[in-house]
């Protein structure tokens, strides 16, 4: 149990239910197919069984939580887009016009949009926008801490509470999404701090910076790490020194869901940076995380390897918003249906292989 859990009032995260894991594995081996022939779908169904504590888990109520925040480091020219795009895209999410809205509708998921710290005013009275702003964007990590430790705690606590609220409404799987111009820079800095890999290996083009922009971005991350010297053993320190409000919020979503035995479908580069923080804060939460895809961002594969996890998809995605998570949720639902709805050899009267 972490010291930070006392601050966050986070219940103990239980290990996966091994009885359910074993029962699901045995049932998979009795379904009318060659053993292991559905590959990752079988592995995924067994993980979901362990999370739910049932040998035939179900996914019915799907929610994708998209968290938005701005970053002072954009002043260093690390993004191809201006900061004004963040609130504009938040409005687009609320109006249903973004890629995440299309894919969430396709898989039957609701989209929850959270302002964790957008710098410019979001001009809307739309009640669907959850306002949990920790500040009007972070400070410039190239010149000092991105936020205070208290703000880092607040961001994570907000994520925990939002996850709990959605679960209380009936969500049985959560997906993570992000919006924040410049947020691949703090995400890369978090990854460098925790994995001890160089910015050259982790940093990518984000929204599409050119060669000069990528070189500048790498230099900014190096400077931020030198100036702030984040402690890799302290997730809150890493978040406060080089992170973002929405990244902390997503880490909180993961911790909060795990504490309630609910799986989280992790999106791409930014969400995986949040996962690095969540696992650093509470290693037990990793069993509750499913990684939807491997992003086109340079360092994402290295981040996944550091976590020791395999993504479900590799589609060269680099949009964020939770788009990859939506696709992953569809696979999770498929995995559960295979496990619960497919007939066993005995039920179908089909002969098993001689090796069974």
Q: How far is 259 from 163, CA to CA, in rounded Å?
A: 10
Q: How confident is the model at residue 11 (pLDDT cuts 50, 70, 90)?
A: confident
pLDDT in tens, 264-315: 999 999 999 999 999 999 999 999 999 999 999 989 999 999 999 999 999 9
Looking at residue 338, its pLDDT comes to 97
Provide the β-strand partners of residue 344.
Answer: 31
What are the DSSP calls for 103-121, one per residue?
HHHHHTEEEEEEEEE-SS-
pTM over 0.85? The answer is yes
Provide the β-strand partners of residue 115.
Answer: 68, 131
pLDDT in tens, 66-103: 999 999 999 999 999 999 999 999 999 999 999 999 99
The candidate with the shortest Cα–Cα distance to 249, out of 295, 335, 186, is 186
List the catalytic residue out of 43, 321, 333, 341. Answer: 321
Q: How far is 174 from 167, CA to CA, in rounded Å?
A: 8
208 belongs to a structural domain: yes
Mean pLDDT of the chain: 95
Q: How confident is the model at residue 10 (pLDDT cuts 50, 70, 90)?
A: confident
Q: How far is 191 from 19, CA to CA, in rounded Å?
A: 35
* Total tally of structural domains belonging to the chain: 1
Which range of residues forms the domain containing residue 271?
Answer: 62-331
Q: Is 179 left (phi over 0), alpha (psi -120 to 50) or beta?
A: beta
Alpha helix ranges (H) inside the chain: 3-8, 18-30, 39-52, 85-95, 99-107, 149-168, 184-195, 199-202, 211-228, 235-242, 245-259, 269-281, 300-307, 323-341, 345-348
According to DSSP, residue 145 is labeled -
Catalytic, 333? Answer no
The candidate with the shortest Cα–Cα distance to 299, out of 270, 267, 265, is 270
pLDDT in tens, 180-207: 999 999 999 999 999 999 999 999 998 8
43 belongs to a structural domain: no
Tokens 């929204």, residue? 207
197 belongs to a structural domain: yes
Half-sphere exposure of 314 (CA within 13 A, CB side): 6
21 belongs to a structural domain: no
75's CB contacts (< 8 A; 6+ apart) are 140
Per-residue pLDDT at 333 exceeds 60: yes
Domain of 100, CATH number, reads 3.40.50.10210
32 belongs to a structural domain: no
350 belongs to a structural domain: no
Q: Coil, helix or strand for 232?
A: coil
Mean pLDDT of 51-60: 96
- Residue 124 CA, chain-centre distance (Å), reads 26
Burial 159-188 (b: 16+ CB within 10 A, else e): bbbbbbebbeeebbbbbbbbbbbbbbbbbb
45 belongs to a structural domain: no
Looking at residue 356, its pLDDT comes to 58
- Which token pair is 285? 């939460």
300 belongs to a structural domain: yes
Residue 138 class from Cβ within 10 Å (0-12 exposed, 13-18 middle, 19+ buried)? buried
């Amino acid at each position: 149990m972490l010291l930070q859990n006392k601050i966050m009032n986070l219940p103990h995260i239980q290990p996966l239910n091994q009885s359910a894991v074993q029962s699901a594995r045995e049932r998979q081996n009795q379904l009318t197919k060659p053993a292991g022939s559905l590959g990752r779908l079988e592995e995924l169904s067994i993980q979901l069984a362990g999370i739910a504590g049932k040998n035939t888990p179900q996914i019915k109520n799907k929610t994708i939580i998209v968290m938005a925040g701005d970053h002072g480091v954009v002043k260093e020219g690390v993004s191809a887009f201006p900061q004004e795009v963040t609130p504009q895209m938040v409005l687009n999410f609320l109006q249903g016009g973004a890629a995440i809205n299309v894919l969430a509708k396709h898989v039957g998921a609701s989209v929850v949009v959270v302002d964790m710290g957008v710098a410019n005013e979001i001009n809307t009275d739309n009640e669907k926008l959850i306002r949990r702003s920790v500040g009007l964007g972070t400070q410039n990590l190239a010149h000092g801490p991105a936020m205070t430790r208290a703000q880092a705690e607040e961001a994570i606590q907000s994520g925990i509470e939002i996850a709990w609220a959605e679960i209380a409404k009936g969500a049985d799987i959560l997906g993570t999404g992000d919006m924040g111009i410049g947020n691949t820079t703090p995400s890369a800095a978090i990854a460098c701090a925790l994995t001890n890999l160089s910015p050259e290996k982790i940093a990518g083009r984000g929204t599409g910076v050119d060669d000069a922009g990528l070189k500048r971005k790498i230099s900014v991350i190096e400077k931020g790490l030198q100036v702030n010297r984040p402690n890799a053993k302290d997730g809150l320190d890493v978040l406060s020194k080089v992170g973002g409000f929405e990244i902390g919020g997503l880490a909180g979503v993961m911790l909060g869901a795990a504490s309630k035995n609910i799986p989280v479908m992790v999106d791409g580069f930014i969400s995986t940076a949040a996962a690095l923080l969540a696992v650093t804060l509470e290693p037990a939460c990793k069993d509750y995380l499913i990684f939807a895809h491997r992003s086109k961002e340079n360092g994402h594969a290295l981040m996944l390897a550091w976590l020791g996890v395999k993504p479900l998809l590799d589609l060269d995605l680099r949009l964020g918003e939770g788009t990859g998570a939506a696709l992953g949720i569809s696979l999770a639902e498929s995995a559960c249906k295979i496990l619960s709805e497919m007939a066993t050899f005995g039920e179908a009267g089909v002969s098993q292989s001689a090796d069974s």
